[in-house]
Structure formats: C-alpha cells, structure tokens
Amino acid sequence: MHFHRILRTNFYQIRCLSLKTRPPRSIKLGQPTYETRSHIIPKPGNLTPGVSALEYYQRRLKLASKLPVNSLAIVLGNTTKFSSGSVFYEFQQDNNLYYLSGWLEPDSILVIEKKSDIGNEDDVVFHMLVPPKNEHRELWEGSKSGLEGAYDFFNADLVEDVSKAATYIKNLMKTNKTVYYDNKYNIDLKPASTKSFFNFGGGEKFYGLNEVILGSGKVINPLNKLIAELRSVKSSAEIEVMHAACQISSRAINKAMGQVSTKNLFQTEKTLAKYLDYQFVKGGCDKQAYIPVVASGSNALSIHYTRNDDLLYHDELVFIDAGGKLGGYCADISRAWPNYKRGFSEPQRDLYEVVLATNKKCIELCDESLNYSLHDIHEFSVNSLRKELQNIPGFDNLNNQDISRQLYPHYIGHHLGLDLHDVPQISRFNKLKEGNVITIEPGLYIPFDDRWPKHFQGIGIRIEDDIVVGKSNDEIINLSSGCVKEISDIESLIQGGISTPGVDDELVVLDI
C-alpha cells in the first residue's frame, strides 16, 4: 500500500487537563503525540516533546542539501532486543532515524531520496518503511502507528510495508546513482552469505536487504558523518529540551543532597540510585539517561563505577554521575557531597575547591570566538588542576603527566545530545561552534599510594556540567546551573534540606 502526501501541520485547541474521566479518543498510535498524549506533547504542531514536525522536515532538507543529485540516504531503525527468552530490553530507536523523523517504533527504515538540486520541496522524497497495523499483535503489545500513522502524523511522502523492503529499495536504487548507507549490522557480502538477513524479530521481513544494497554495484558512501555534522549543532528547540532535562535532573540531585540531615538519610548506594531515577521521572523526564554512578568514598576512584551496591558511610563523600532523559535528549551531571551534616572535611574541601575552580575556568572557554577545540580545553584542564594542586602541601612537585596518568585519567568532556557520548564522528580537535553542547567534567582521584598524602587517599571527585557553546562569552549557557556546586550551597542543602513550595509535586503536563 502506498500513500503520497504533502507536508501539513494541524492546529488544535489545547483541552483542559482533567483526571476525573478519560475523554473519548479515536486516534491510536504507537508513541505519544499531541493527539493521543497531550500532557506529554501539549503544543500543537510538535511531533516529539519540544520539537515540531516542521523542524524534523527541515532536518531532512538539510541532510538532502549535502547529498548529490540522484542519491539515496538509507537509515535502518533498531529492533527489539531480548535479554532471555521472551524477556525484552526497553526499546531504543536508532538515533539517526529518530533525529530525522521522530519515529520511535521498531523494525523500520527511513529513506531520503534526492531527485535533483533542491529548488522546491518536491525534489526531496521522504520514504518510510514500517510494520503495518496488526490486530493480533496489538492485542498483546498495544497500539501501533502503522503505515497510515507514518503518513498522517510523521509526514512521510511515501510509505510501504517493511516486509517488502528489499524489493522496494531495489527499485529505488535503479533510478538513483549514489547511496549513503551504514552497514551497522556488519554482515559481509560473501557468496556464503547470500541467504543472510537482518533479524528484526521477524527476520524474513528483511530477507536479502543488505545484499540488495551492498551488491547493487552503486557507489556506497558512509552516512553517519553527514548526520553527525547536523546533530553536533543543536537548534534552539533541542537546547530547550536539553535545558528542561537538566533542570529536572538538577532538582533531583539537589533533593538527594537535601536528604542528608533528615531521618530519610540514604543508607546504601542502590537506594540513592533508585531515588534519583524516581525523581527524574517524577520531575518530568521519560527515564534515566544511563546507568548512574553512585559511589561512596573510594568507590569513586573507579571512573565508571556502576555496581552501586555498597553502603554509604558518614565520613565519606558521596559521588554521583547521573541524569534524566527527555524527548530522547540526555542530561549528564556529576556532583560530590559529604554524607554527614557537619559538611566537608578539610582534605575533601581542599580537593573539591581545586576541581571546582578548574570546572569554572573551563566553562569560560566554551566560546566560539576563542577558537578552542575540546582537546584544547582538555589540555587547559590538566594545566589548571596542576597549578591549583600546587597550593596544597604534598602536591607541590607535580608535572602534567602525573595529573593525566594518575590523578585525572579521563577526558574533559564530550558532546551531548540524543546519545550520552554524542556524535563520536566529530573530532575532538575540531574547533567548537555555537550550538555545540558539551560536558565539562574535570576530576581528581587520589589512589592509595604513599606518593600522596595519606589523608587525601581514597577521595574521588568529579564536577560535571552541560554547556551550550556560545558565539561569545556572554552567550555561553550552563544547562545544569541549577544543580548546586558551591561548597556553601552544598553544606546549606545537606544541613537544612529543601523547603521550596511544590518541590515534591509530580510534573504531569510537560510544557517545554
């Protein structure tokens, strides 16, 4: 079944939210939209939280502008993965497919066809190949969007049953010269593999697709780098969504600090980890962005400690690296605080001040006019930590190798967006641009080694913020500025808690 459509945007009156009784609803889709979940997407014209259908359309046009005439860009979606038997992992869409369409359902393919130089909208055709609606499957799994949903709500120009993907794409390739495609399933094109297929939970649907593309005789070019260049510079809508995710995550972390002097003081790393996850969702995020680090004391010496199975001792720092995810976009925040209302000990305070000073200085460098790269900021952070540490007895004969090999063995940060470590195709040596969103996360980790003063050993601290690169210094935005990091603010929180009115209210209507 084929549909052909012209992009259109519908505008509806926002109805008043009432939980007394469910209003009648005839539209059934496989993911939230304004028409089916207006508390999640309350703004008409938005296709996903905070991002409009028009912006998705413009993203596809921008990608097409990078393609030659008579070319195809083919993006394979993800499939449901199973952990054991019929127990499945939570579905995660391919982020390139999501970035270009907003589509969140599995077993789907997106194709952008550029017929000629972009002179009008008809020169670019948006194809979606998706599973059709299936009454039996929906009885078990709930509503799906189907071909009609891809056409009516996700603005595809042409749609097709994904089970016909091989034939459909083969026909498209006959009329186009160049193909952009990433063989992410790494299936080699060899004689022995002529009967291989993608296993999308119903592998026969994708029978022969890889062979059709790679064996077509067409020029096959990598696509990831082109999309990464687009994704690396965030739009104002993306920044607003990420700001919301960071605000929600910041409040959750502040609330966790505020529990220290209460009768609800956390006793274990795992309960603190689950508290943060709950607060992210209660505050409006969809879920946590990644498995968090919740480390008491020397557990923080492991950079990615995610066991979270120890006790929280009162004489140690609590270190966390956590964040929520909203509309596909990640927050990524690290903080450390004393697990006792008396506040920081002197060694903890000394090291914390070193890391905090470097964090602040590095944020000031996220300015396009300075012509810095992420690597330049990293080199600066190593120098800054060394100079700051020289003010502490026992750390006065350090060189940069001591810092980078022993006390600060990770990088200053990474791009952030739909992926936690976003667009890795973008080099660390590229100059930062306005609209890049990066993390700034210097740290110190003092091992149990007699080279270092004994009272500092076993302390691990990282302070991480999410930063929008500005055109100038005045335009730098710290998305996670709401998460306290000054020593006086942290000690105030752990001693007095949070008393802001409404701080424990559940966010029901997500209005970005």
3-state secondary structure 335-403: EEEECCCCCCCHHHHHHHHHHHHHHHHHHCCCEHHHCCEHHHHHHHHHHHHHHHHCCCCCCCCCCHHHH
Spacing of C-alpha 440 from chain mean position? 16
Angle (CA) 294-298-299 rounded to 5° is 35
Residue 319 · residue 300 · CB < 8 Å? yes
Residue 299 · residue 305 · CB < 8 Å? yes
Q: Is pLDDT larger for residue 461 or for residue 203?
A: 461
Residue 109 · residue 223 · CB < 8 Å? no
Residue 223: which residues within 8 A CB-CB, separation 6 or more? 73, 74, 75, 96, 180, 181, 182
The confidence score (pLDDT) of residue 203 equals 42
Separation in Å, CA 316 to CA 213, 308, 343, 458? 57, 15, 10, 9
The confidence score (pLDDT) of residue 1 equals 42
Per-residue confidence band for 12, with pLDDT thresholds at 50, 70 and 90 = very low
* Mean pLDDT of all residues in 403-426: 97
The confidence score (pLDDT) of residue 184 equals 73
The confidence score (pLDDT) of residue 206 equals 53
Residue 57: which residues within 8 A CB-CB, separation 6 or more? 7, 155
Long-range pairs, 382-389, Cβ under 8 A, ≥24: 382/408, 384/357, 384/358, 384/442, 385/354, 385/355, 385/358, 385/442, 385/444, 388/353, 388/354, 388/357, 388/358, 389/354, 389/444
Terminal alpha carbon distance of the chain: 37
The confidence score (pLDDT) of residue 118 equals 57
Gyration radius from the chain CA atoms: 25
Among 135-144, 199-208, 365-374, 388-397, which is the least confidently predicted range? Answer: 199-208
Per-residue confidence band for 22, with pLDDT thresholds at 50, 70 and 90 = confident
* Mean pLDDT of all residues in 339-367: 97
The confidence score (pLDDT) of residue 87 equals 93
Per-residue confidence band for 185, with pLDDT thresholds at 50, 70 and 90 = low
Beta-ladder partners of 460: 445
> Which helix or strand (DSSP H or E) is residue 166 part of?
helix 165-174
Residue 157: which residues within 8 A CB-CB, separation 6 or more? 4, 5, 125, 126, 127
Per-residue confidence band for 201, with pLDDT thresholds at 50, 70 and 90 = very low
Per-residue confidence band for 210, with pLDDT thresholds at 50, 70 and 90 = confident
pLDDT of residue 233 exceeding 90: yes
The confidence score (pLDDT) of residue 507 equals 94
The C-alpha atoms of residue 169 and residue 243 are separated, in whole angstroms, by 39
Per-residue confidence band for 353, with pLDDT thresholds at 50, 70 and 90 = very high
Residue 79 · residue 107 · CB < 8 Å? yes
Per-residue confidence band for 25, with pLDDT thresholds at 50, 70 and 90 = confident
DSSP 8-state secondary structure symbol assigned to residue 272:
H
The C-alpha atoms of residue 189 and residue 191 are separated, in whole angstroms, by 7
Residue 426 · residue 229 · CB < 8 Å? yes
The confidence score (pLDDT) of residue 23 equals 81
The C-alpha atoms of residue 269 and residue 318 are separated, in whole angstroms, by 9
Residue 25 · residue 57 · CB < 8 Å? no
* Mean pLDDT of all residues in 476-498: 97
pLDDT of residue 7 exceeding 50: no
* Domain-wise residue ranges, the chain: 46-230, 232-496
Strands 293-296 and 158-161 come out as: unpaired
CATH class of the 232-496 domain in this structure: alpha beta
CATH of segment(s) 46-230: 3.40.350.10
Beta strands in 67-123 (DSSP E): 71-76, 82-84, 87-88, 109-114
> Which helix or strand (DSSP H or E) is residue 179 part of?
strand 178-181
pLDDT of residue 421 exceeding 80: yes
Mind listing the pLDDT tens digit for each residue in 85-114? 999 999 999 999 999 999 999 999 999 999
The C-alpha atoms of residue 131 and residue 143 are separated, in whole angstroms, by 12
Q: Which amino acid appears at position 397 of this protein?
A: N
The confidence score (pLDDT) of residue 193 equals 36
Angle (CA) 370-62-438 rounded to 5° is 35
The confidence score (pLDDT) of residue 195 equals 37
The C-alpha atoms of residue 182 and residue 164 are separated, in whole angstroms, by 20
DSSP 8-state secondary structure symbol assigned to residue 476:
-
Strands 158-161 and 124-130 come out as: parallel
Per-residue confidence band for 121, with pLDDT thresholds at 50, 70 and 90 = low
Tell me the H-state helices in 419-508: 487-496
The confidence score (pLDDT) of residue 21 equals 85
> Which helix or strand (DSSP H or E) is residue 174 part of?
helix 165-174
29: which 2 tokens? 């889709």
Q: What percentage of the chain has pLDDT greater than the value 90?
A: 84
Per-residue confidence band for 315, with pLDDT thresholds at 50, 70 and 90 = very high
Residue 144 · residue 184 · CB < 8 Å? no
pLDDT of residue 288 exceeding 70: yes
How many CB atoms are located within 10 Å of the residue 301 CB?
Answer: 18
How many CB atoms are located within 10 Å of the residue 428 CB?
Answer: 16
* Mean pLDDT of all residues in 434-446: 98
The C-alpha atoms of residue 125 and residue 114 are separated, in whole angstroms, by 7
150: which 2 tokens? 């891809």
Tell me the H-state helices in 153-208: 165-174
Q: Could you give the count of Cα atoms lying within 13 Å of 440 in the half-sphere of its Cβ?
A: 31
Q: Which amino acid appears at position 5 of this protein?
A: R
Residue 425 · residue 466 · CB < 8 Å? no
Per-residue confidence band for 24, with pLDDT thresholds at 50, 70 and 90 = confident
Rounded mean pLDDT of the chain?
A: 91
The confidence score (pLDDT) of residue 120 equals 62
Beta-ladder partners of 219: 178
The confidence score (pLDDT) of residue 122 equals 67
The confidence score (pLDDT) of residue 463 equals 98
